[in-house]
Structure 1
Amino acid sequence: MMLAVTQTDLRTNIKQLLDNVAHNDDTIVVTRSNRENVVIISEAEYNSWQETNFLMKNENNRKSLSESLASINRGEGKVLTPEEWEKMNG
C-alpha cells in the first residue's frame, strides 16, 4: 500500500509507519512543502530494486529477460519445480 504523509505526520507516527513499511511492504511518500517529496521503502524492496537495476545494466541480461518474457507471453513458458530446475542446471 502507498501512503502519503506530511513531515509532521511522520514525526508523530514514525514507529507505526516504519513498522508498516518493514512488515507490510508499505511505501510511504513524505510530502514536504516547498521541497521535493521523499519515499520510504523497506530494505527488502530497496535490495530488490538494486538487483533489478544491476541485471538490467547488462545488455545481454536485458536481451535474455526480454526474450523470456516474450516467450511466456506467447504461452511457451513452463513452470519448473526446484527439483526440475536442479536437474536441468545441476
Structure 2
Amino acid sequence: MEEDTMATTAIYISELGKNLKKITDDVVNYDDYVIITKPKNRNVVLMSEKEFNSWKETLYLLETEANRAALDESIPQAEAEHEN
C-alpha cells in the first residue's frame, strides 16, 4: 500500500491491528476499500465514510422503478449537454 493509488487488497484480521493507522489512512486518502479476511469466510469490508455514503445514495436512487427510469432518461440528456 505504498503506491500513489491503493489497489484493492485483502488482509488477515490478525494483521489489521499492526497496520490499522496506515490502512485506514490509505482507505480514506484513496477512496478504496480493504477486505478483512476472517475465519470461516466471515469477511468484512473496510471503506471510507465518504465511499460508504456514496454507495448508500446510489442504492437509494436505484431503489424504485420510477427513480431508475428517471435516471435512465436523464443520463443521455446530461451526456448530450456535456458534449455541447
Give the structure-2-normalised TM-score: 0.78
- Equivalent residue for 1:19? 25
1:36 aligns with 2:42: yes
1:79 aligns with 2:51: no
User: Which runs of 5 or more structure 2 residues have no equivalent in the other structure?
Assistant: 1-6
Check conservation: 1:3, 1:26, Cα contact below 8 A.
no
Report the count of equivalent residues.
76
Q: Report % sequence identity.
A: 37
- Equivalent residue for 1:63? 69
Check conservation: 1:7, 1:31, Cα contact below 8 A.
yes
User: Which runs of 5 or more structure 1 residues have no equivalent in the other structure?
Assistant: 81-90
Aligned structure 1 segments of 4 or more residues deviating by more than 2 angstroms: none
Give the structure-1-normalised TM-score: 0.73
Larger Rg: 1
1:47 aligns with 2:50: no
